[in-house]
Every structure is written in structure tokens, then in C-alpha cells.
A and B are shown apart, each in its own frame.
Chain A
């Protein structure tokens, strides 16, 4: 059976012209469309907003890195914060990857642990095919790999919420220090810091090494001293920082981890002069 209708009637009567329901059968003609058929959803209010959005939960604060003439030094404290609550005080955020590379991670701790697993897998697969028994996985390779991981995750709008510093040696055995963040942005410098450190520590580090190439004149002890100074300044002013930190040195003798290093030489003299909310001096 075919019912013939006039064309104009067909055009006007059967289609919904509402811009948000364009082309749908008109409710007035066909009755309200049953949205539950085949899980069809029209009204966006029906659906819970799609969860891709995220924010870091437990976080680690700044990581610092500096080159010196024989290698690099990296430092990060051991705090894991839950918002403004200093929730954990035993988080180790600098890890060794391969035999001469270290990776320091700030930002979300669970994403850091995911990265730790990814890097562990990388090291194992590296050993699988390593017939010569030589270790070819060096800092630039780890850095490039992490860049790909983070950039691919940002492309999926599902980032690993971290800023990372990779330290070690370049292919030509010179010190290597480079940064990666959750967007996949990378850069290298003789002095690097993530998070709060990029405001508080970088100026102090750059005072020691004003020009990138000058790292080759810097002694280990001088580099270490300025890193310790930075950790102290960060402890004063970064509310999410801790008093204990890990200091890692990578040089031709290998990778040396110094754990539970404490911020030294603190002076709270000024504190007694602080009254009220302002910076008014008595």
C-alpha cells in the first residue's frame, strides 16, 4: 500500500527543522522518538560528561638538574602531596634507567609509576636483543622514547601528567640533560628545573652557569653546592616541598644515589620579625 502525499506537505510536516534535531522525524507527526532504542542518545544531558579530563592526584614537586664538567647532578625531594596535604614522605622520584642514565619525575605519582613500568619494560626488551653484551641504551635514547610516549598520550587527550628531566651522557660521551613534559614539549639546557623550581631554582642555577657551554668549567662540588642551595630555597618557599631529598650524581665513575640528604643551613631568623599578614618591619 502506498500513500501518496503532496510534496510540500511531505517536506514541511515530516521533518524536524530544529537545528539541534535537524532531519529527525517530526515529533508532532510520529510521536516522540524513543531514545532508549539501540541506545540512541540525542540529549547531551542524558550522558555523563565524557571522562578524559584529568588532574594530578598525588603529586611530586620540583626536580632539579645541572650539568658539570664530568657529568650531571639531579635532585628531587621525597614528598608525595595530596592537594595541599603532605601525604607521603618516602617517594623516590629519581630512577636509574639502564647503566648510565637517570630520570627524575615531577607531577602525578601514579603516572610516574606507570612510566617506571614502561621504562623497566624498555630496559628488559633492550637486554633481550643485546647479543654483544654492550649497553646501547643511553640518555638521548631514553629521552626520545619518553618524548614519544608523552606526546602520543597528549594526542589521545589522555596525558601522563608529569614533567621529566633525563640526565646522563650523550652519544659523544658529553653530559646530557633534557626536559620533557605532559604535552611532549622538550628542551635541553645546562640548568633545568621542573615545576616551582623553574621559578625559584633556575635563577640560582643560571648564576653558576650563565652560558650553556660554561658547564665544562664547573667542578662537581660547586654544582652540588648550588643544587643544595636551591633545595633549601625551595624548602623555604614551596609549600609542597620536603626537607629530605635524593641527590644523584652521574659521572664517568657511574651513577651515585645519595638518599635522605637533608636541607642544611636553614635560617629562620627572619621569622620572629613576621607579624600579621603584611611584610611590615617592626
Chain B
């Protein structure tokens, strides 16, 4: 059986120049349920699909408030996200306390990226197993960033992470113009939920139990909507099921299969 000799730690390169431990960490994100983020010129919306381990269990939180002007969505290992968001909260509070100004979104996301990068370069440490979408509004406007455990940070108008997120990305790409020109936060949320529902598998639909919505932007403090509060947004959708399944013409998310090509042989079900 094939055995990979270059994935024992995160400080050893493979002969082809890859860091397998870091790549595995990126895989952990894909095991998590999807989160979608999208930005108009004034607002940023995050939506997430929550999962529960079992029927009687509670749902894992997908959206975390950092400050009045910032919040994150996570996919992957939720405990890691909690550590990172706690760090961000401290940074945000420190900025208020010491400088009397809200932490800028780019500064925030780079501060956790630097933390994550250190883990990719020190022996015996494990890279964070979580991806974050960071939404925020500051002096320089509305921003959406994607954070990865590799320490990479990119700014987006629309982004999605987690299981079957390619489908959401496709939706965002097709509707980019409309999204950028959204006048009201409501429209933006509807686009977000449209994108999110495309990540659903056949037997699942968006319900107020499994859907989380957040918004932040100009004159809008970071607000999350969960449970009963999310129904008002679901009511604005034409359907709560995946459009590709409705259309029945099955090109079964080519992209989604591609991302399932796993470097690991035995993939563990990471239950956030």
C-alpha cells in the first residue's frame, strides 16, 4: 500500500514542494458544511448551513460575532474557529481600548493569518483545521476575506467554503454584477441563501433550523439571525431546495467531485 513519507509534520516539504499537513488542513475545511459570503458596496452577508451530529442533537454554530463591525463564518473544526475568533475578539477589544477605533478588517484577518502561518512552520504543531470567511465594515468600506489554515488571505466579492461549496461559488460567479449592485441588505441575503441552497444535497432543504444568516455594513451592526429569526429570510426565497436537483438535468456538480479527490486514503468524517 502506498505510504506517504512526507506528511508526518508540517515542516517537511515533499520532493514536489508540497506541505502535506497543510494540505490536509485545507481538506478539513471541505469536511465542514458550507458557508457563503458575499459583499455589495456597502454590506457583507454571511450565510451558513448548520449541521447536527444526530437528530436529537443541537446544531453547530456557523457564525461568530467578533465586534459590532465584524463577524466570521466557519467551515471545518469548530473548536479551532473558537480559538481564532476569541483571539480576534481580543484584538478588536484591544483596538477599541488602546486606540479608540474599531479594528480594521484587513488588520484582523492578517493577524490570524500570521498565527496560522506560524503553525505551518513549527515542528510539533498542527495547522488550524478551519477556514473562515471574515466579514466587516470599517473606514475603508465593506470587506469580505477568506482565511485559510495555510496562512493565506484573499479578499473577495463573493466566496464560499466547506462541503460542496463549488456550487455556491458558481452561483456567485453567475450573479456577481447583481450582487455588487445590491441596493438593500435584503437582496444580498437572498442571493446568499440562493448560493447556499445550491450546496445542498438531494434530500436536504434550507430550514430555519439549519440556516444561519448574518449581515454587517454601513449603519448596520453585525447581526446574526438564527432559528425563528431566519424564517423571514427563507420566506423570500422561491424555493428552499437545490436548484440543480429541481432541474433534474444531472451534471451532479462536477466541481464538487473534483474537490473530493482526496490526498488521504482513509478520509475521516470530521464532525465539526
A–B contact at 8 Å CB threshold (below): yes
Contact B100 A141 (CB under 8 A): yes
Q: Do residues B97 and A148 form an inter-chain contact, with CB atoms below 8 A?
A: yes
A132 and B106 within 8 A (CB): yes
- Which residues of A have CB within 8 Å of B99? 141, 144-145
Complex Cα distance A148/B97, Å?
A: 8
Contact A148 B98 (CB under 8 A): yes
Interchain CB contact under 8 A, A143 and B106: no
Complex CA distance for A129 and B98, rounded to whole angstroms? 17
Which residues of the other chain, B, contact A131 by a CB distance below 8 angstroms?
106, 110
**Residue interface mask B101-130, A partner, CB < 8 A = 1:** 100101100100000000000000000000
Tell me how many residues of B have a C-beta within 8 Å of chain A. Answer: 11
Instruction: Say yes or no for B249: interface residue by CB 8 A criterion.
Output: no
Cβ–Cβ < 8 Å partners of A134 in chain B: 139-140
Residues of chain B contacted by A129 (CB below 8 angstroms): 104, 106-107, 110
A136 CB-CB contact with B under 8 Å: yes
Complex CA–CA separation, A14 to B214 (angstroms): 73
* A238 CB, min distance to chain B CBs, angstroms: 33
Q: How far is the CA of A189 from the CA of B110 in the complex (A)?
A: 37
Contacts of B139 in A (CB 8 A): 134, 136
B101 touches A136 (CB 8 A): yes
Q: How far is the CA of A9 from the CA of B229 in the complex (A)?
A: 79
CB distance from B64 to the nearest CB of A (A): 22
Complex interface residues of chain A between 110 and 150 (CB less than 8 A to chain B): 129, 131-132, 134, 136, 138, 140-141, 143-145, 148
Docked CA distance A140–B106 (Å): 21
In the complex, what distance in Å separates the CA atom of A148 from the CA atom of B99?
Answer: 9
Evaluate contact between A145 and B140: CB separation under 8 angstroms.
Answer: no
- Known A138-B101, A140-B100, A145-B98; further 11 A-B contacts with Cβ < 8 A: A129-B107, A131-B106, A134-B139, A134-B140, A136-B101, A140-B101, A141-B99, A143-B100, A144-B101, A145-B99, A148-B98
25 A-B pairs, CB-CB below 8 angstroms? A129-B104, A129-B106, A129-B107, A129-B110, A131-B106, A131-B110, A132-B106, A132-B140, A134-B139, A136-B101, A136-B104, A136-B139, A136-B140, A138-B101, A140-B100, A140-B101, A141-B100, A143-B100, A144-B98, A144-B100, A145-B98, A145-B99, A148-B97, A148-B98, A171-B101
